């Protein structure tokens, strides 16, 4: 087997010295989607924030492409071909769509070369390039987040609840975009509560309950959905 693009080993992490995550370990390979499932407040966002360096782990090790990045600064981690789409609407509302997309690549020339990636993912975004991002619909803002990640042509994507509040056709479009990225070899860590969406794209799953992984495996059949649903019920 190839070595993982992202490796999380024995991570304990939280806020103010306490631990929300306890002994979390997972590996992500190139060209696969691993979904991390769990109810509200179980620690899913804390996990991606810890990987990105926004929350410092109290113990454990995180490696990107085999290099230790535990406790590295977020801007240094972000330079390592990893794209993070946070759960919060992390777009710059006063900037245009194009200016938001530029943040994914660094300059306009490169963005121009890669606008085809945006058009292939979500043609409507091209029509909106000069529009202020804050005036996009909620669904379009989520699409912009995903497009910004895509134009950076990352090897790893960390995606936190992108499907939340979206209509089914938009969710299906997101699923297609993620499958295409996976088929190009991107390793995707997909944080989700939408079980149908997550299992329609993921190759593997892990369930977080109160900061611990309580179940994990391959996404195989409808049996998996039935088996996992209990973890997501309120």
CB of 224 to ligand ATP, least distance (A): 20
CB of 13 to ligand ATP, least distance (A): 10
Pick the binder of ligand ATP from 8, 26, 33, 42 (CB under 6 A): 42
- Window contacting ligand ATP (CB under 6 A); options: 41-49, 116-124, 129-137, 198-206: 41-49
Q: How far is CA 188 from CA 152, 162, 175, 183, in A?
A: 14, 13, 12, 11
CB of 90 to ligand ATP, least distance (A): 14
CB of 45 to ligand ATP, least distance (A): 3
Decide: is 15 part of the binding site for ligand ATP (CB under 6 A): yes
Closer by beta carbon to ligand ATP, 23 or else 119: 23
- Alpha-carbon dihedral of residues 204, 3, 73, 118, nearest 10 degrees? -60
Closer by beta carbon to ligand ATP, 55 or else 146: 55
Q: 16 CB contacts (<8 Å, ≥6 apart)?
A: none
Decide: is 38 part of the binding site for ligand ATP (CB under 6 A): yes
CB 34 within 8 A of CB 203: yes
Pick the binder of ligand ATP from 3, 10, 41, 210 (CB under 6 A): 41
Q: Please tell me whether residue 158 adopts helix, strand or coil conformation.
A: strand
Q: Is 66 exposed, middle or buried (0-12, 13-18, 19+ CB in 10 A)?
A: exposed
CB 36 within 8 A of CB 191: yes
Decide: is 141 part of the binding site for ligand ATP (CB under 6 A): no
- Window contacting ligand ATP (CB under 6 A); options: 35-43, 131-139, 145-153, 173-181: 35-43
User: Of residues 54-113, which lie at the interface with ligand ATP (CB under 6 A)?
Assistant: 87
How many chain residues interact with ligand ATP (CB under 6 A)? Answer: 11
H-only helix segments in the chain: 44-51, 74-78, 97-105, 108-121, 123-127, 138-151, 168-183, 195-201, 222-232
CB 130 within 8 A of CB 98: yes
Please tell me the distance from the alpha carbon of residue 67 to that of residue 101, in angstroms, as a whole number: 28
Decide: is 233 part of the binding site for ligand ATP (CB under 6 A): no
Pick the binder of ligand ATP from 40, 107, 130, 169 (CB under 6 A): 40
Decide: is 44 part of the binding site for ligand ATP (CB under 6 A): yes
Other beta carbons less than 10 A from residue 116's beta carbon: 11
Decide: is 20 part of the binding site for ligand ATP (CB under 6 A): yes
Please tell me the distance from the alpha carbon of residue 32 to that of residue 112, in angstroms, as a whole number: 28
Closer by beta carbon to ligand ATP, 14 or else 187: 14
Q: Which residues bind ligand ATP (CB under 6 A)?
A: 15, 20, 38, 40-46, 87
């Amino acid at each position: 087997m190839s070595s993982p693009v992202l490796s999380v080993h024995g991570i304990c992490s939280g806020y103010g010295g306490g631990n929300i995550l306890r002994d979390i370990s997972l590996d992500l390979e190139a060209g696969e989607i691993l979904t991390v499932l769990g109810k509200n407040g179980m620690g899913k966002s804390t996990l991606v924030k810890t990987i990105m360096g926004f929350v410092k782990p109290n113990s454990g090790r995180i490696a990107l492409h085999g290099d230790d990045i535990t406790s590295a600064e977020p801007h240094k981690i972000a330079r390592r071909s990893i794209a993070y789409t946070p759960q919060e609407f992390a777009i710059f509302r006063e900037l245009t769509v194009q200016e938001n997309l530029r943040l994914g690549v660094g300059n306009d020339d490169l963005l121009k070369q890669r606008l085809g990636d945006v058009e292939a993912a979500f043609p409507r975004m091209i029509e909106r390039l000069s529009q202020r991002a804050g005036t996009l619909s909620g669904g379009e803002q989520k699409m912009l987040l995903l497009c910004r990640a895509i134009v950076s042509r990352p090897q790893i994507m960390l995606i936190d609840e992108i499907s939340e509040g979206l209509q089914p056709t938009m969710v299906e479009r997101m699923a297609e975009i993620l499958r295409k990225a996976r088929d190009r070899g991107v390793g995707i860590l997909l944080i989700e509560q939408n079980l149908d969406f997550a299992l329609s794209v993921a190759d593997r799953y892990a369930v977080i309950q109160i900061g611990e992984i309580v179940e994990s495996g391959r996404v195989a059949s409808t049996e998996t959905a039935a088996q996992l649903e209990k973890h997501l019920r309120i």
